[in-house]
Amino acid sequence: MIKRHNPIRPCTGVWLLLVLLTLVTYGIGEAGLGGIEVVFLLLAMVLIKGQMVADFFMGLRRVRLRWRILLTIYLLLVVSGIALAYLMGIK
């Protein structure tokens, strides 16, 4: 294996990213923000966080594509379903 030079382990980086995104999510909640743009941002963060957990924590980035993509499809379906439902609720 190539000798690593990055300052932090990849999993630590992911962890920091997840913490950050969670704080942003919380901040949005505290600010009482709503509306399409905010919800889409929140859902985008869910997508990123979910994929990070799948790839780096669950270790799916190193497995056959079909098992990895299954979770990606799952996240996409759930998130887009939630988005669709949100849009329906606006009317």
Partner 1 sequence: MAAPAVGFFLPATQAIMNASTLDKDVNSAMPPGDFAIWIFIYAELLAFGIFFLAYAFTRAHNVELFNASQLSLNRESGAINTLVLITSSYFVVRALAAIKRGRQVFCVRWLAAAIAMGGLFVAIKLAEFHAKFSAGISLHTNTFYMFYLSLTIFHFMHVLLGMLILGFVLFKAHRGHYSAEQHAGVETGASYWHMVDLVWIILFPLVYVIR
User: Residue 15 in contact with residue 49, Cβ under 8 Å?
Assistant: no
Please tell me whether residue 4 binds partner 1 under the rule CB under 8 A.
yes
Q: In the bound complex, what is the minimum distance in angstroms from residue 4's beta carbon to partner 1?
A: 7
DSSP structure class, residue 35: S
CB of 28 to partner 1, least distance (A): 6
The answer to whether 69 contacts partner 1 (rule: CB under 8 A) is no
For 89, the enclosing helix (H) or strand (E) is helix 65-90
Closest CA to 46 of 16, 72, 11: 72
Binding of residue 22 to partner 1 (CB under 8 A): yes
**By CB under 8 A, residue 50 contacts partner 1:** yes
